[in-house]
A and B are shown apart, each in its own frame.
Chain A
Amino acid sequence: MGKNLVGNHIRKLRFNHNEMTQQQLADRAGVTRQTIVALEKGNYSPSLELAFRIAHAFNLPLEEVFFYGENKEGEW
């Protein structure tokens, strides 16, 4: 299974938000912990609705949580 082109900063953002657990984020976004695990590993590209829900859980705009293509570490 190839890596998805949609990447994210979820792991880093969880850490920056009082070390939020995967389960807490899952509860806020309305998904299971398995989905957060898959997203963090880059094994799954979320739907647009889920991407917005996750961004909303961090109180951040979508583009600060997700990116397309190569990860530009310097931006974070």
Chain B
Amino acid sequence: MTYQEKKSIVSLISTILIFVVYCLYRYPEYPEEALNSKETLHYWGSFVLVLTLVSIAAHIVISIIFNIVFRMTTREKEPTFADELDKRIDLLAFRNSFAVFVIGFLLAMGSLVIDQPSKVMFIILIGSGFLSDVTGSLSRLYHYRRGV
């Protein structure tokens, strides 16, 4: 298995772990009694912002650890540049990832149209963000293994 395939798997696992652990950590803090209040909106805003920051930081740390472990176990250096195959796979992964997020975004807006509480809209929006990230990692893994 090459560096890129291993990296896609590590990225997929870390995305799922970060999201699940963060949700389990933040879920008990949800203000159940205050429906559609300022407090609820504050909760969702901070949920998304902190998740974004935590996710970026964790990905950087995991990527550094992965590179160190990769060098130690394989005695190879990781590629320092992206060639034409990497760029093409990145584009395909981004396209799939974007499509999933757009579908999630439209579903989230649809939930408001059918008078669902804002909680549903935020859950669909955050869920689609997570699924789009997973789709991106899976697309990368698929194309590195099966070609383009």
Contact = CB atoms under 8 A, between A and B. Distances in A.
B60 interface: no
A46 B84 contact: yes
A32 B85 contact: yes
Interface in B47-67: none
Contacts of B86: 32, 34-35
Contacts of B85: 31-32, 34-35, 38, 44
Interface stretch (B18-26, B117-125, B140-148): B140-148
Given A31-B84, A32-B85, A37 B2 contact: yes
A30 B146 CA distance: 22
A1 B2 contact: no
Contact of A1 (B3, B76, B83, B148): B148
Contact of A44 (B76, B81, B147): B147
A42 B4 CA distance: 18
Grouping DSSP codes into helix (H, G, I), strand (E, B) and loop, the A interface class, with mixed when no group exceeds half, is loop
Interface residues of B, number: 16
Q: Which of A1, A38, A42, A46 has the most CB of B within 10 A?
A: A38
B79 interface: yes
B113 to A, nearest CB: 38
A14 interface: no
Contact of B146 (A1, A32, A46): A1
Contacts of B83: 30-32, 35
A70 B83 CA distance: 27
Interface string B83-105: 11110000000000000000000
Contacts of A1: 143, 146-148
Interface in B122-148: 143-144, 146-148
Nearest to B85: A35
Interface of B: 2-5, 76, 79, 81, 83-86, 143-144, 146-148
Interface of A: 1, 4, 23, 30-35, 37-38, 41-44, 46-47, 50
